[in-house]
Amino acid sequence: MTHRTRKSLAVLLLSSLLWTSLSSSSAQTATTVRIGFFPNLTHAPALVALDKGYYAAQMKGVKIETKDFVSGTTLSEAFAAGALDIGLIGPGPAINAAAKGMPIQIIAGVAEAGAVMIARKGSGIGTYKDLAGKKVAVPSLGNTQDISLRAILADAGLKPQSDGGSVTIVPLAPADVAAAFLSKQVDAALVPEPWAALLEAQSNKAVGDEKTVWRGGKYPSAVVIVNIKFAQANPELVKSFLKAHLQAIALLNKSPAAAQTSVSSALFKLTNQKLDPRVLQRALKRTTFTADVDIEAIKEYAQLNINAGYSRKSPDFDSLVDLSLLRSLTAPQSQVPIQKSPAPLILGRK
Amino acid sequence: MTTAPLSAVRRPRSMTFVWQIAGLIIIISLWWLVTDVLKIWPPYVFPSPKDVWEEFSYGLWGTGPQDGKLLSSVGSSLRRVALGYVIAVGLGGVVGLLMSLWRPLRETLGAYLQGLQSVPSIAFVPFAILFLGLNERAVMFVVIIEGFIPVALAVSGAVLNVPPAWRTAGRTLGANNFGLVTRVLLPAALPNIVTGLRTAWSFAWRALIGAELLTANPGLGRLLEVGRNTSNMALVIATIIIVGVIGALFDLLIRTLESRIRRDYGLEAGA
């Protein structure tokens, strides 16, 4: 117990030291907000907020710097280095970072589901059980899809090769999966949208739908994290960020067509890729956008993460997830506790 | 090859050893001082010696899902680099010899190899993956390329540096082409060839870790990748230490061989 207190004290001391040394001028009130996200559909609220200028409109008087990252690994490294204040990231890297003592906190959800297992055309994979002896790609080891894949394999009675099983898990950037499929390097891939829909458009087949990946699709695939010190020093700013975030989610859920245009143009600016509207539509349909965070799913995640051997202990969930700011914004209007929103707002027609 | 025991290498070994141990103790103390005592950096940026030691112990005798794999990871990396190195040395030896004997080859391929040597091994990985697949062969390819170039250049250079008088002497004593190569040129070039073998080893070892890091085959590179992806800096540092120690041990081994050969050739004081 004393050891733990000492450790957390040390972490607090250190992080404050790091914080003051890194941004001595902005310790009180920040003049710049640095936001990180990925150019994926599970991060669509950030794409919409950027395209529509929601961040700038809500966070007046501060400079907004946005950076896009290719994976949770690089984003969490940026957090560790003190180069980001707010980030959209998969729960896997967020949990790992928190378990290692990084001063981050989950303050809102972004998206649920939004990832599908795609089998290469001609791979003969029809169900998860057929993955025996195959090579399956995930964006990176220890990321959200890797953890989901390990849960899928366990359910199907299979094991990864590194644990003495027959399934080889290959870390591969989603952008490279199409080429790997063509040269038959990998047989299947568990990838976030829009990559899954893109691969499907190239006549590869989805194994199950987004609901069969894990927990009936009711699991967070991206969450909003803040640097705890930043949040404590700038509560109003974080609140403004959340307002913009909620505004973007509302647009995604209420005006899919308008949101789609926004997402498309933001993606084009970031990746120089023009997505086929039908692909984008299908990808968005498989992703649920909600600012709420299912804490039970986060806890289950942490356990899966431990089962996979990526972590040895769970983080302190009480300090990791703090939705009080979010509640202060959402509760008065909706009157119903947002945590159990009865009908998840799914974009598009089912 | 001479087979004298290692103890035959005479150096003021005992003092060197004492200094090396002292240096190690000082480094670890400083490390402990800045991490555990002064706490200059948070542990997720720069973990303490204790955290890193824990990762070692997990890797050696831990019972978790990813634990106890340190030795097998070291084993797979060593197996890969050994095979790659042997192929690289064989291939490099033959090509280097041909280059030294045949001027057109030397002036074309030799020049290209000089250029290729400046390309970092990581640059070959994307090509290797597309060409050979996301598998062991891609890693081997990179290791062989990186090891092959210095061997070929060293062999070619070493044979060219054999004094012309020795060739004449060999011919005069009745050596045919094959005999000239095996009995005169290669033995005469051996000290410089061994120096090339040492360079090739460090190139191959670095190439291996880089390629493993990108392809995530079981091995030390994969440990690095897992450490990075799970914010486990202690695992990253533990792996870096293992990579460094193995690299240094093999370097020492080849260097011992090298200095013995140089002594046999009268190029180095024997003491």
Contact map slice: A 64-83 vs B, CB within 8 A = 72-73, 76-77, 80-81
The answer to whether the CB atoms of A18 and B66 lie below 8 A apart is no
Question: Radius of gyration of chain B from Cα atoms?
Answer: 22
Nearest to A137 by CA among A189, A206, A180: A189
Residue with more model confidence, A162 or B110? B110
Task: Tell me the CA end-to-end span of chain A in Å, nearest whole number.
Answer: 51
Tokens of A348: 């598009």
Return the pLDDT at A10: 54
Q: What's the pTM? A: 0.79
Lowest mean pLDDT among A16-25, A153-162, B207-216, B239-248: A16-25
Return the pLDDT at B134: 74
Q: Which residues from A are below 8 Å from B231, CB to CB? A: 76, 80, 93, 96-97, 99-100, 102
Residue from B35, B38, B44, B73 to probe the interface with A (highest A Cβ count within 10 Å)? B44
Spatial distance between the Cα atoms of A84 and A77, rounded to a whole number of angstroms: 9
Tokens of A104: 């981050």
Chain A to chain B Cβ contacts (< 8 Å): 88
Nearest to A134 by CA among A195, B69, A126: A126
The residue to which tokens 């789609």 are assigned: A260
A129 CA to centre of own chain: 27
Q: Which CATH class is domain A115-217?
A: alpha beta
Cis before A194 (ω within 30) = yes
Q: What is the pLDDT of residues B136-152, one digit of tens each?
A: 888 999 999 999 999 99
One fold for both A32-114+218-325 and A115-217?
A: yes
The answer to whether the CB atoms of A93 and B216 lie below 8 A apart is no
Spatial distance between the Cα atoms of A309 and B128, rounded to a whole number of angstroms: 30
User: How much is the ipTM here?
Assistant: 0.73
Q: Give the list of residues 6+ apart from residue B51 with CB closer than 8 angstroms, or none.
A: B43, B234
A85 CA to centre of own chain: 16
Q: How confident is the model at residue B12 (pLDDT cuts 50, 70, 90)?
A: low
The set of long-range contacts for B1-9, using a CB threshold of 8 Å and a minimum separation of 24, is B1/B257, B2/B260, B2/B261, B2/B264, B4/B260, B6/B256, B8/B260, B9/B256, B9/B259, B9/B260
- Amino acid sitting at position A217: G
**Domain boundary assignment for chain A:** 32-114+218-325, 115-217
Half-sphere exposure of residue B70, counting CA atoms within 13 Å on the CB side? Answer: 23
Spatial distance between the Cα atoms of B211 and B30, rounded to a whole number of angstroms: 32
Q: Is A21 on the interface with B (CB under 8 A)?
A: no
Return the pLDDT at A5: 55
Q: What is the pLDDT of residues B36-79, one digit of tens each?
A: 899 888 888 899 999 999 988 888 887 777 778 888 889 999 99
- Amino acid sitting at position B194: V
Beta bridge partners of A28: none
Q: Give the list of residues 6+ apart from residue A41 with CB closer than 8 angstroms, or none.
A: A111, A114, A192, A193, A194, A263, A280, A283, A284, A287
Residues B243/B120, Cβ–Cβ less than 8 Å: no
Strand, helix or coil for residue A308: coil
Half-sphere exposure of residue A39, counting CA atoms within 13 Å on the CB side? Answer: 21
Q: Give the list of residues 6+ apart from residue A223 with CB closer than 8 angstroms, or none.
A: A88, A89, A90, A91, A94, A106, A108, A109, A110, A293
Q: What is the residue-averaged pLDDT of chain B?
A: 87
Helices (H) and strands (E) in chain B, counts: 12, 0
In this model, does residue B264 exceed pLDDT 60?
yes
CA distances A141 to A23, A153, B17, Å, are 32, 15, 41
- Amino acid sitting at position A67: K
The answer to whether the CB atoms of B43 and A100 lie below 8 A apart is yes
Nearest to A347 by CA among A298, A287, A302: A287
Return the pLDDT at A214: 85
Lowest mean pLDDT among A14-18, A103-107, B29-33, B260-264: A14-18
The answer to whether the CB atoms of B130 and A183 lie below 8 A apart is yes
The pLDDT tens digits along chain A (350 residues) read: 455 555 555 555 555 545 544 444 444 578 899 999 998 899 999 999 999 999 999 998 899 999 998 888 889 889 988 899 999 999 989 999 998 889 999 999 999 999 999 999 999 999 999 999 999 999 888 888 998 999 899 999 999 887 788 999 988 888 889 988 998 889 999 999 999 999 999 999 999 888 888 888 889 999 999 999 999 999 999 999 999 999 999 999 999 999 999 999 999 998 888 889 999 999 999 999 999 999 999 999 999 888 888 888 888 898 899 999 999 988 654 444 444 444 444 443 33
Residues B265/B190, Cβ–Cβ less than 8 Å: yes
CATH architecture classification, A32-114+218-325? 3-Layer(aba) Sandwich (3.40)
Helical H segments across A81-203, by residue range: 91-99, 144-155, 174-182, 195-201
Return the pLDDT at B52: 93
Domains of chain B (ranges, CATH numbers): 74-264 (1.10.3720.10)
- Amino acid sitting at position B245: V
Residues B110/B99, Cβ–Cβ less than 8 Å: yes
Q: Where are the beta strands (DSSP E) in chain B?
A: none
